Structures are given as C-alpha cells and as structure tokens.
Amino acid sequence: MDFALTDEQKAVRDTARAFIAKEVMPLEQEVLRRERAHQPSLEPGELRELQLKAKKFGFWGLSTPQEYGGMDLPAVTQSLIWTEIGRCFVPFRFGGEADNILYFADEDQKREYLLPTIAGDRVSCFAITEPGAGSDAANIKLSARQVGDEWVLNGEKTFITNGNDADFAIVVAVTDKDKGVRGGGTTAFLVDREMGWKSEFIQTMGEGGPASLVFEDVRVPARNILGEIGQGFTLGMKWIGKGRYVIPSNGIGIAERVLQMAVDHANTRETFGRPIGENQAIQWMIADSEVELEAARMLVLRAAWAVDQGLEPRHSSSMAKLYGAGMVNRVVDRALQIHGGMGYTRELPLERAYRQVRLYRIFEGTDEMLRLIISRDLLRGYTKLGQV
Ligand SMILES: Cc1cc2nc3c(=O)[nH]c(=O)nc-3n(C[C@H](O)[C@H](O)[C@H](O)COP(=O)(O)OP(=O)(O)OC[C@H]3O[C@@H](n4cnc5c(N)ncnc54)[C@H](O)[C@@H]3O)c2cc1C
C-alpha cells in the first residue's frame, strides 16, 4: 500500500495551487466586500475571464474527455484540485466542464448543448428535485405527455442550482406513470428556456442561490430527449453520483483553510497573559479538527480511487460525502469558536464558510439518506465489512 501521491498528481495539484494563489486569491477581499454589500460575488464575465486564464495555465475541462478538448483527469486528481479550490473563498471553478450526463446526447444534441456548455457559451442546470420529491426523488410528478412529435411538460422543479442563469435545463420527467419511476417511467429532456419555462430565485442562507422552475404546457420536440425514453431516473442518479466525492473534496480544502486560521489565531490571541493556544480546551479543538480532516481525506481519496478503478463507488462515495460534509461543518464551527466574537462577524470569512458548508449536509444526498444507503448495503449484504 502506498499513500504517497504520484509525481504527476503532485505536479497537477501544485500547479492548480499556484494558479489559485496568483490569480484567484487576490480577489478574495473584493468578493467578501461585495457579498457584504449584497452584490454578486463574481460577475459571469469575471469568472469566464479567470477560467480562460486558467486554460492558458493548462486547466480546462478537468473531467472532460480529451476528444472534447478537456484534461480527462482521473477522479483522484480531480479530487485534489477541488480541495485546492476549497481553500479559497472566491466561488471559482475551472472552465471547460459539462454535466456528466450530457455525454449521453446524440450527435445533433452534442453540437447544440454539449459543445457550447463545455465552451462556456451556454449554461445548463439539472432538475430532478420537486416541491414534493427531494430525498424521495422516485416520487417526482412533473409530467411529459407525447403529442405528435412533441412532448408537453407540466409541473414544478425546485432548488435547482443555476436555475436562474441557465439557458437550458436537463429535466427528469414522468413519461409513463404506470411503469413507475424505477421501472423505466421517466425520461430526461433538454429544455431551452425559450421553450417557455420560468424560473424564480430562492433566497438561502448561502451566497448565491438556487431557483424554482415552472413548466406550464412547455412543448419540447422529441429530438430533445436525452438518452433513451425510460432512462431519466438512471441518468439523474448518475448526475448526483459525481457530487458525492466532489463536494467533500471541496470541504477538505475549506477545512484546511479555516483550521490554519484557527491555529494562527490560537498562537497570537492572548487572554490572561498568554496565547489562547496554550489552553487545553483550544488544543483539543485543533487536534480533533486535524484528525477528522485527515480521516475525511482518506475516505474521499479512497472513494475517488474506487471511481478510477471502475469499482462500484456507491458505498465508498456515500461514506466520503457523509463524513466529509460533517467534518467540514464541525471544523468550521470550531474555527469560528476559536476566533470568539470576531469569528461571528462579517469582518472574517468564517461565518460565510459556516453558512456555505451547512448545505453540504443537505444537497446531493442528505446525511440521513447516505446513512440509509450505507446501512442498507450492509444489512442486505451488498457490502461486506472490511472489504470496502
Ligand atoms: C442550495 C441547493 C441546491 C440544490 N441544487 C439542486 C440541483 O441543482 N438539482 C436538483 O435536482 N436538486 C437540487 N437540490 C435539491 C436537494 O438535492 C434536496 O434539497 C435534497 O435532496 C433534500 O430533499 P428535500 O429538500 O426535499 O428534503 P426532504 O426529502 O423533504 O427531507 C427532509 C428531511 O427528512 C429527512 N428524511 C427524508 N426521508 C428520510 C428517511 N427515509 N429516513 C430518514 N430521514 C429522512 C432528510 O434527510 C431531511 O433531513 C438543491 C438543494 C439546495 C438546498
């Protein structure tokens, strides 16, 4: 067993770190200032400019196949890069990416949706959640009825990331109620905003926010079916599956950053004539945070490795997401506590991180649903203890 990163993994990680330090980190104070003034953190044009700079650095399409101009990096390397991104408070991500399920598009759809999304000329969103179906995604109701060469969509989606900015949505709809969602009764559609869906921004405790999407007799040509009829739920689960190692990878970076802030503060802030870091209460918070951070790193890299090995990643990714999301919430909470009253102010980005990471325990599989998956795998014997 070798825990060391390969030279190539280290080189990619260090180059990503250097790019972020040089081009992205300097924007942090401005981003925080804008957010305090209730302005967008980063304008789309600014993000694009950064992404094009990163492209010159060699970073374009971390997960995009090389035939589409991407880097097609192994999941472990992608995980390392998402950790680097997490260390910076600017809401930056590398460009040249498209939703993993857009590769199920046919050739015409690839030209119309996939390629412009990779290029950054079109913005997509993925919509499965509904007001009555979140964790229980198999309970979706948004319907698609075939009328001649078209499908007519009616219903509502909610909490859709990018839903207010996207110019097309990948929508999972019920096409055959009798078959049921798990029995092939759903289909994914590529639905342009011009086809008639409406979106409304949802305010959340985080910066930015998702949107609700309303479909009222939205007519979608049959050529806009993504993949096969009946494949909607399967594609939806594939989309969600990816986030299960990306989200905690990002969380590791956030935890590293705030824990370093806590260590620095513990060494410099004095009470009762000595640095607060000399108190066991503070030391234990720091120690527990590092242990949990490193445990999460192992689980997350193990889950990404399973993806690279072509192993079924469900169990390991569920553990990585469950533990990684909990870990970053606990570490941010302790870092905030170590900063005392200052931690609670908007002078420092800790309260922002606190609000941001709370989401990690909810989206793309709540803590409770992940526990359900992990325990069911064991109870039903899909996974044997000690053989993950
Ligand atoms: C900011 C944000 C962005 C999002 N982005 C997207 C997106 O881009 N696309 C998309 O389709 N969706 C998106 N979502 C939706 C997200 O995936 C759902 O919110 C999530 O799956 C939980 O569903 P719910 O909110 O309906 O909660 P519910 O399913 O109503 O759950 C409520 C609570 O009950 C618990 N619970 C539910 N069932 C059980 C059970 N059987 N046993 C034990 N506990 C249970 C849950 O864990 C949770 O704590 C986003 C959500 C947010 C907040």
For this structure, is 150 an active site residue?
A: no
CA angle (168 as vertex; 144, 66 as ends), nearest 5: 115
Question: How confident is the model at residue 241, as a pLDDT?
Answer: 80
* Bridge partner list, 133: 130
Q: Give per-residue pLDDT as tens, 175-204.
A: 999 998 889 999 999 999 999 999 999 999
The mean pLDDT of 345-365, rounded to a whole number, is 96
Question: How confident is the model at residue 388, as a pLDDT?
Answer: 64
For the chain, what is the mean pLDDT? Answer: 96
376 CA to centre of ligand 1 in angstroms:
19
Both tokens assigned to 126: 């993925």
The amino acid at 307? V
371 CA to centre of ligand 1 in angstroms:
14
pLDDT band, very low/low/confident/very high, at 251 (cuts 50, 70, 90):
very high
Nearest to 144 by CA among 205, 72, 225, 49: 225
The mean pLDDT of 98-104, rounded to a whole number, is 96
pLDDT band, very low/low/confident/very high, at 256 (cuts 50, 70, 90):
very high
The mean pLDDT of 89-115, rounded to a whole number, is 97
Q: Give per-residue pLDDT as tens, 1-34.
A: 889 999 999 999 999 999 999 999 999 999 999 9
Tell me the best of 215, 360, 363 to mutate to test the pocket of ligand 1, counting ligand atoms within 8 Å of each CB and taking the most. 363
19 CA to centre of ligand 1 in angstroms:
34
Query: Is 70 exceeded by the pLDDT of residue 123?
Result: yes
Please tell me the distance from the alpha carbon of residue 38 to that of residue 100, in angstroms, as a whole number. 32
The residue contributing the CA closest to ligand 1 atom 16 is 363
Both tokens assigned to 386: 């000690």
Please tell me the distance from the alpha carbon of residue 152 to that of residue 219, in angstroms, as a whole number. 5
User: Among the atoms of ligand 1, which is closest to the Cα of residue 137?
Assistant: 21
Q: Give per-residue pLDDT as tens, 137-166.
A: 999 999 999 999 999 999 999 999 999 999
Please tell me the distance from the alpha carbon of residue 322 to that of residue 41, in angstroms, as a whole number. 28
User: Among the atoms of ligand 1, which is closest to the Cα of residue 157?
Assistant: 11
Question: How confident is the model at residue 1, as a pLDDT?
Answer: 83
The H or E element spanning position 174 is: strand 168-174
Query: Is 90 exceeded by the pLDDT of residue 213?
Result: yes
Asked if residues 34 and 41 have their Cβ atoms less than 8 Å apart, the reply is yes
Please tell me the distance from the alpha carbon of residue 257 to that of residue 113, in angstroms, as a whole number. 36
Query: Is 90 exceeded by the pLDDT of residue 212?
Result: yes
What is Dmax (Cα atoms) for the chain? Answer: 80
Asked if residues 130 and 157 have their Cβ atoms less than 8 Å apart, the reply is yes
Please tell me the distance from the alpha carbon of residue 339 to that of residue 349, in angstroms, as a whole number. 11
